[in-house]
Amino acid sequence: MVFVLPGDHLDPSLIPSHPKKALRLGPGVRHVPSDGVVPTVAGQLVTDHQKNAIRVETSEGRYAPRVGELVIATVHKSAAEVYYVTLSDYTTSALLPQLSFEGATRKTRPMLVPGALVYARVSLANKHMDPEVECVSPATGKSDGLGPLTGGMLFSVSLGMARRLMMPKSVQDGKVVILDELANAGLQFETATGRNGKFWVNSDSVKTIIAVGRAVVETDEKKLKVEEQQKLVRKLIKDVS
């Protein structure tokens, strides 16, 4: 993991290079003729060699949609062909086509009311257009786990926490073990995490939903270490049982 500060000089080895693709600069970096690629915010330097792209991810701040990212969207209102959904506070609504669900037709498409939650993938992110999301794979026509989220509760976490929760455990940084510890303690629940800083929990037990959500939020806000997360789980289990 490489963390940078605004104005840091980046070693050339950190900048991806592709013989056929132009370098793509994402959020948090810009090109300065005299210095090359320079970070403009503090955060983790992220490179994608396949796409020949580089960006800086921050834990705080406003979510900026990027194509391919999974998000939890809240339905704001519906129109003839689309749902208007929100990805974060104080940002433009995103568009969710009403037929962008597995097997959806004009007769079978889901009828989502304001406040309904959907797990979706960003399909269009252009600064000149409203972002768009989808709940189906355009390649297979399958949902691949996307779609309406029924029941449960939604919690807000930092963008950094959302990123860590979505990382494969083999490369996860920050040692976020809170969900594994809760499951090992016997709690049964399901979760979904959006890169837009949204965390959804569902369970047959309301106490379990609240305990899991509270545990993740507290781990995020207090930046708990592994031992502290384990201690928190032991305390919460007493409240649930």
Selection from 105, 68, 229 nearest residue 161 by Cα:
229
Give the list of residues 6+ apart from residue 25 with CB closer than 8 angstroms, or none: 31, 37, 53, 54, 55
Report how far residue 15's alpha carbon sits from residue 4's, in angstroms, rounded to the nearest whole number.
Answer: 13
Along the 241 residues of the chain, how does pLDDT read in single tens digits? 688 888 888 888 888 888 888 888 877 888 888 778 888 887 788 888 888 888 887 766 678 888 999 999 999 999 889 999 999 887 789 999 999 999 888 888 889 999 999 999 999 988 788 999 999 988 888 998 999 999 999 999 998 899 889 887 655 555 899 999 999 999 999 999 999 999 999 999 999 999 999 999 999 999 899 999 999 999 999 877 6
Angle, to 10 degrees, between the axis of helix 206-222 and the axis of helix 226-240? 160
> DSSP assignment of 104-122, as one string?
--TTTS--PPTT-EEEEEE
Q: Which domains does the chain have, with CATH numbers?
A: 2-57 (2.40.50.100), 69-150 (2.40.50.140), 154-240 (3.30.1370.10)
Selection from 229, 192, 227, 195 nearest residue 214 by Cα:
229
Output the CA–CA distances (angstroms, integers) from residue 98 to 81, 117, 134, in the order listed.
Answer: 6, 14, 9
pLDDT of residue 205: 94
Report how far residue 59's alpha carbon sits from residue 52's, in angstroms, rounded to the nearest whole number.
Answer: 23
pLDDT of residue 127: 78
pLDDT of residue 9: 86
Is the full-model pTM beyond 0.75?
Answer: yes
